[in-house]
Amino acid sequence: MSAPRPLPLLQACRREPTPYTPVWLMRQAGRYMPEYRAMRARHGFLELCKTPEAAAEVTLQPVKRLGVDAAILFADILLVLEPLGVGLEYTRGDGPRIHRPVRSAADVERLKPVEVEQAVPFVFETVRLARQALGDRLPLIGFAGAPFTLASYLIEGGASREFLHTKRFMREARSAWHALMGRLATVTAEYLNGQIAAGAQAVQLFDSWIGTLSPSDYREFVLPHSRSVIAAIAPGVPVIHFGTGTAGLLPLMREAGGDVLGLDWRVELGPTWERLGYDVAVQGNLDPGILLTSVGEIRRAAAEILAGAAGRPGHIFNLGHGVHQETPVDHVRALVDMVHDMSAR
């Protein structure tokens, strides 16, 4: 029986040489794809997440259409918050809302205990179905929201620009904050390990809102909890650690852990990787807005990022955040093809 062929994305996570730079995209399954819009016409968002056959189909759609080097699980970072009893609702147009936000130590104590395996079995079934369909052709990436981003949703009650409730809570109720973050870190680690047990071969920890913090706040209020999540992940499974607005936080994020550091578009990949050290892999970091321009502009921008990586082992090409819904599908496919062509060794 022959050994399975190497998968470039997993090789890049381990900083091993690859025949070309692997590429996948955050939000590569989403509203810019007609296949996804057709699914959403039949299912509400939460219903789609909780229907494993449909969620697995969405997970696989970009693999068929785009030629990417990995599938990423279709789910939502807030699914593990619903069992806490905070009144999670996905509203059309306004996004997720928390009807009973956490604003005090008493609120933290009232949160229901979460048994992850019983709380989100549909996610693990989606992973199993998607992995079965992928076989050994491509890896499947699992993901979760990082404790800070989850806590901010709980405290703010939804999306925020200033995160004032969160910042006040951190400083005025330090013990409650760390208790909340500790609970979320435990749930997140169990959630990611559950995905791995179901078949995910790498995982990404999304700290989407971490860029709102100063380095000193990150060090005190976040780093220990992100580190505990990453340290608890099943040995041998690559962890991608990603946040946005993190130019001043990347050294601390590296300290928190991860085999790969995700970079957003606000930093230059080459000099940033040099500062972080080449003994960590990096992912990124095309501005998603560039995909709305011409194919020529996309090629120029992608070539600049590849030049910054200089062919070193350990670069995964991605966007600096998710694909915008207005993005032409043909532009996304063109990006994947050109990254493969321009980086061929």
CATH code (residue 129): 3.20.20.210
Q: Is residue 106 part of a domain?
A: yes
Q: Print burial letters for 210-226: b (CB count within 10 Å at least 16), e (below 16).
A: bbbbeeebbebbbbebb
Q: Is residue 242 part of a domain?
A: yes
Chain segment 79-106, per-residue pLDDT in tens: 999 999 999 988 776 678 999 999 999 9
Q: Print burial letters for 274-289: b (CB count within 10 Å at least 16), e (below 16).
A: eebeeebbbbbbbbbe
Chain segment 138-154, per-residue pLDDT in tens: 999 999 999 999 999 99
CA–CA dist 207, 246 (Å, integer):
10
Q: 312 an active-site residue?
A: no
- Concatenated DSSP letters for 121-174? HHHHHHHHHHHHHHTTSS-EEEEEE-HHHHHHHHHHSS--SS-HHHHHHHHH-H
Q: Which of 36, 107, 128, 153 is catalytic?
A: 153
- pLDDT value of residue 130: 98
Q: 40 an active-site residue?
A: yes
Chain segment 210-228, per-residue pLDDT in tens: 999 999 999 999 999 999 9
Amino acid of residue 91: T
Cis amide bond preceding 285, omega within 30: yes
Q: Which of 20, 31, 65, 227 is catalytic?
A: 31
- pLDDT value of residue 104: 96
Cβ neighbours of residue 333 closer than 8 Å, sequence gap 6 or more:
65, 66, 67
* Owning domain of residue 47: 8-343
User: Which of left, alpha, beta for 179 (phi over 0: left; psi -120 to 50: alpha)?
Assistant: alpha
Q: Is residue 2 part of a domain?
A: no
Q: Which of 27, 128, 131, 183 is catalytic?
A: 27
Q: Is residue 231 part of a domain?
A: yes
Q: Which of 69, 76, 207, 264 is catalytic?
A: 76
Q: Is residue 280 part of a domain?
A: yes
Q: 153 an active-site residue?
A: yes
User: Can you give the pTM of this predicted structure?
Assistant: 0.96
Q: Is residue 168 part of a domain?
A: yes
Residues of the chain with pLDDT under 70: 1-4, 93-94
Q: Is residue 3 part of a domain?
A: no
Tokens of 100: 């009973």
CA–CA dist 224, 189 (Å, integer):
13
- pLDDT value of residue 64: 87
CA–CA dist 304, 115 (Å, integer):
46
- pLDDT value of residue 206: 97
CA–CA dist 242, 283 (Å, integer):
9
Q: 31 an active-site residue?
A: yes
- pLDDT value of residue 91: 76
Q: How many domains does the structure of the chain reveal?
A: 1
Q: Is residue 260 part of a domain?
A: yes
Q: 27 an active-site residue?
A: yes
